[in-house]
Structures are given as structure tokens and as C-alpha cells.
Structure 1
Amino acid sequence: MKEILQESNYSHYDIAEQVMLRNIIRETRRLDTREADFVNNGDSIDFVIYNKQDKKCTLIIEVDGFEYHENNPEQLKRDAVKNSIPDKYAIHLLRLATNGREK
């Protein structure tokens, strides 16, 4: 990813790993109670692509361990809640499975 971001078309972006969701979503008025709890209780994002100039988040990337996520109904519920948050703030989310499939 870092190599791609060095290309001239993407050089105004950078990447950060393990970013707390509350550092991306600072106001939670758009969220329901469960979503706000995700933001306020220390949930993190695997990777964030952001604009270097204004630090605005452009893309969230979540990488899911296939076995853990596919065989864990509670985790699938958590993922669904986490998926709904960026949408409410017009932030793109890309969720990838470690088996190479986009989810």
C-alpha cells in the first residue's frame, strides 16, 4: 500500500495502522447507541488512508481473519455495526478477508 501511495496520483494520501475509531469519528450524533459505543469504547480500524493536507479520512480498510470472522456469529454482528459507522459519515470502507476475497 505504501508503494501505491508514493505514485504521483496518490502522493497526497498517507496510511496509518490501528487507528482508534474515536480519532476518525469525533461527533456521534448520527450514530445509534451501539454504534456510538464502538466509537467511544476504544474500537480500532486496521488501516486508514487519509489526506496529508487536512488529515481527513478517505478510506477505511479492515482485514478479517477468515476463520475468526466467518465462524463467529458474534463477530459478524460486531462487523455489521462497525460497517454501518463509516457509511453515516461518507467514508468508504473496504473489508478484506485473509483468504484473499473481498467481503
Structure 2
Amino acid sequence: MRHLDVVCHLPLRMLIRDFSLLDESERRYAGNGLTHVDFLIYNKVGKQPVLVIETDGRAYHRQGSRQEARDRMKDRILELYGIPCERLSTAESNEQERIETKLKEILHLNYILPEK
């Protein structure tokens, strides 16, 4: 997958530049310099986003928390712009397999991605 690369902690406002699909609260959230995606896998040719990966700590992202509400808003924003997102909990395992499966689904691949 030489045409793919990854960047960490990318501000959402650098990923979503046209806020026209967002309501006012989503615009404020997406435009905040502290709002970021944990990881972005993108196509180096054309710099197109392929997959956002978010890592969620069990306590910090618990149901009903402020962070969980922000996570839902980020998921909605990414969905509006057609950017797939995979959330990985720090309490789970098989992260590599889940990411590979998601990338195969997105890129319509029928083979196993090589390990780095």
C-alpha cells in the first residue's frame, strides 16, 4: 500500500475546509484548533482521506460523558463529508486486524495487507 500514508493528530479544520454542510455548533467544533482526528490514513496521490482512526479510552469516552457527545459530533461531521471512521477502544484488541479489514472494505481489496 505504497500509495497510502498516515498522519497523527490532524486538526479537523485541516481535513474539513468547507463547513457549508455543518450547523453552527458543528462549525464551532470543527473550526476549533484543538479538535483533531487521532490518525488519518490518506492517499498520497491527491492527498485524499481514506480512513480516520480514533482511539477511545474507556473512562474518558464513557457513555453520557461530554467526550462521548463530542465523539458523536465528530462522527457525524466525518459522515457528512464521506470520510470513514474506525473507533478503537483501548479496552479492546485486534486493532491491526480491524484496521486492515476496514481498509480492505474501503479500497475493495481481496488480499492481506503486508506488515510493515
Scaled to the shorter chain, the TM-score interval is 0.7 to 0.9
In structure 2, the gaps of 5 or more residues are 96-116
Alpha-carbon separation, structure 1, partners of 2:20 and 2:58: 33
Q: What's the TM-score, normalizing by structure 1?
A: 0.84
- The counterpart of 1:49, out of the listed 30, 38, 41, is 41
Q: What's the TM-score, normalizing by structure 2?
A: 0.75
1:1-103 aligned within 5 A: 10-42=1-33, 43-70=35-62, 73-100=65-92
Residues paired across the two proteins, number: 93
Q: Could you list the runs of 4 or more consecutive aligned residues of structure 1 that deviate by over 2 angstroms after TM superposition?
A: none
The 1:52–1:38 alpha-carbon spacing in structure 2 relative to 1, beyond 3 Å, is same
Residue deviations 1:18-69 (CA, integer Å, cap 9, x gap) = 0010110000000111211121111111000000011111111100111111
Q: Please say if residues 83 and 93 of structure 1, whose CA atoms lie closer than 8 Å, have aligned partners that are also in contact.
A: yes
Which sits farther off after the overlay, 93-102 or 33-42? 93-102
Q: Please say if residues 17 and 48 of structure 1, whose CA atoms lie closer than 8 Å, have aligned partners that are also in contact.
A: yes
Q: CA deviation at 1:99?
A: 0.5
Alpha-carbon separation, structure 2, partners of 1:31 and 1:71: 24
In structure 1, the gaps of 5 or more residues are 1-9
SS where residue 60 of structure 2 aligns?
helix
Alpha-carbon separation, structure 2, partners of 1:71 and 1:94: 18
